[in-house]
Structure 1
């Protein structure tokens, strides 16, 4: 079963698990749909989680909820659509790590995620993994670092998107390893992975659910997973610490936001709904089968988490004198 099918199953399986829908309250009247805007293409984890959110809103609130994929600008186009929407609970943003750090890496992102958006919930997290082209002879991270230092023009790093968790992890890897090679930005994980398989790119760091399934036929080789301990779903892949970079831990994560000024009541109701969803055994099992960890946090806990993520990213980008693109 391929990755896209498994992710679709995680979303479609909600209907069988859900309790009967409750009558919609006045804030979400029937006849007007709730728009869940996903700033990324269909088929990836972010899209599957957006559809899971929309389906659960529809089931539990009795309102119509639809997903709109508003892609482009490294997530900025869809995010801007939510920033400009009325704060009435009818437009939500289902996005990822990128939302929190976008203003740090994109010149056109002039918003402040902590000031200009209302965080509703963090829904899931995914550890990152570093992979390399199977066309290269190196087998370990230490061998890759040695080879890239010796012949830097023969190597490059693929980036699935500016501002992604993989982008920040790549910057940290280059800083800590002392390797100086080019980064090439793609429009998503799949084209980056395709070039890696073809040998046009050599290295990539991105969520493990997207990359580990590609390691089965030898065209992609896993070098390390950015977690404190090895994953039970990929026990043969060493942690980045075991591979030679102690403390190298990165994850992507996914959440739901609303326009600034959305009422606390609406925010809390969506948060409670998503916490309930992410505790359901069927949802937990499906997400974990894709190396996605369900998250159940209060709004305050999510705010604190995002603030810490922004601080970490700010310090990292400042340390390498990164200039927004």
Structure 2
């Protein structure tokens, strides 16, 4: 399956106004501190983007935005569920990635509904994945890697930063196309998975550029491909999936902001407006683009529509790969 992310974005993204607009809603900083819950350990891409957003929101508003890692497992569902239970006063928000919409598809124990149990605020960013291996693996391209894996499948371990993440769906599609039947090891976040990849304990991982590229540049992991149609200016030496000997594949990891259900609409709109101010700033764009991400913003209604389309997009992949939490 080929992802046309640009077409999808054109249908769902609406830029949030950055003009001053109405007076801030009650309960928005600097009136009170805000906690951005990241449902994964520190060190991964979700955590990294969240911390940049929190800093920029704090500087823009003069308020306090704090990132709190609630890494209880279940693909981020434990941390996400804690936001569902939070008071809908704007003091506790969820910052999560595309895995947020996939987890309920693969885990029957997840009781929340990603469309109806959250207040949708705004998209924040998206960016490509880097498919990497350990430097000791004698493969220069994805095609060469899968040729080795087909010969000795027990020798090469495939991994994901979390069941249902964009990186997981990417690896599953590559496996299916290459005809390699190999279980994917699931980690609880990008930090632990990248540490094991750098140590040579796993041999294939698809992970966002923010967390992978520094290790690539340091020579600790080896990049085989980037999941965009064209090479990224940030790392032009990394070939696309098609250039690396596989059928073309485009996939991004995206990031958004949600609150508990039943937040006051004026509060949700004000938070979305402030995210729009940040994502439109040259400083934020520069910081994210240095890490391989593109700032995005939506209206609350735009994020809800985007989530619904992503669910429809991911479901066939999950079913074909038979991804389930046992």
Structure 1 partner of 2:66: 66
Aligned residue runs from structure 1 range 299-310, under 5 A? 299-310=300-311
Residue 164 of structure 1 and its aligned partner are, at CA, apart by 1.6
Unaligned runs of 5+ in 2: 1-19
Task: Supply the distance in 2 between the matched residues of 1:289 and 1:24 (Cα, whole angstroms).
Answer: 31
Q: How much is the aligned-residue C-alpha RMSD, in angstroms? A: 2.5
Aligned residue for 1:289?
Answer: 290
Measured in 1, the distance between the counterparts of 2:178 and 2:150 equals 9
CA contact (8 A) 2:276 2:298 kept: yes
Q: Is the 8 A contact 2:35 2:68 kept in 1?
A: yes
Q: Structure 2 CA distance, aligned partners of 1:24 and 1:59?
A: 16
Q: Give the match for residue 178 of structure 1.
A: 179
| Partner in structure 2 of residue 249 of structure 1 | 250
Q: Which residue of 2 aligns with 1:144?
A: 145
Within 1, Cα distance between the matches of 2:127 and 2:30? Answer: 35
Q: How many residues align?
A: 306
Q: Deviations over 1:101-150 (max 9, x none)?
A: 11122333221101111210110112111111111112121111111111
Normalization by structure 2: what TM-score? 0.85
**Deviation, structure 1 residue 261:** 1.3
TM-score (norm 1): 0.86
Q: Shift in Å at residue 218 of structure 1?
A: 4.0
- Change in 2 beyond 3 A, CA 1:88/1:218: closer
Alignment of 1:200-215 (within 5 A): 200-215=201-216
Higher helix share: 1
- Say whether 1:38 aligns with 2:38: yes
CA displacement at 1:319 relative to structure 2:
1.6
Counterpart contact for 2:120–2:259, Cα < 8 Å: yes
Secondary structure in 1 matching 2:205: strand
Give the conservation status (yes or no) of the 8 Å contact 1:106–1:162.
no
Give the Cα separation in 1 of the matches to 2:36 and 2:238. Answer: 36
Contact kept in structure 1, 2:41 and 2:188, CA below 8 Å: no
**For residues 221 and 153 of structure 1, what CA distance do their matches in structure 2 show?**
20
- Does the residue aligned with 1:135 lie in a helix, a strand or coil? coil
Alpha-carbon distance change, 32 to 211 in structure 1, aligned in 2, over 3 angstroms: closer
> In structure 2, what is the Cα distance between the partners aligned to 1:308 and 1:191?
30
Q: Residue 49 of structure 1 contacts residue 94 of structure 1 at CA under 8 Å; is this kept in 2?
A: no
- Conserved 8 A contact 1:31-1:64: no
Which shifted more, 234-243 or 67-76?
A: 67-76
**Contact 2:30/2:61, CA 8 A, preserved across alignment:** no
Q: Distance in 2 between matches of 1:224 and 1:29?
A: 41
Given that residues 23 and 61 in structure 1 are in contact (C-alpha distance below 8 angstroms), is that contact kept between their aligned partners in structure 2?
no
The match for 1:221 is: 222
User: Within 2, Cα distance between the matches of 1:53 and 1:216?
Assistant: 24
Q: Would you say 1:187 and 2:197 are equivalent positions?
A: no
CA shift for structure 1 position 314:
0.7
Cα distance in 2 for partners of 1:282, 1:40 equals: 26
Instruction: Name the counterpart of 1:271.
Output: 272
Deviating more after overlay: 303-312 vs 129-138: 303-312
Residues 1:113 and 1:65: Cα distance change in structure 2 (over 3 Å): same
Q: Distance in 2 between matches of 1:300 and 1:23?
A: 21
Matched position secondary structure for 1:139? coil
Higher relative contact order (CA 8 A, sep 6+): 2
Structure 1 unaligned blocks of 5 or more: 1-19
Mean CA deviation greater in 315-324 or 47-56: 47-56
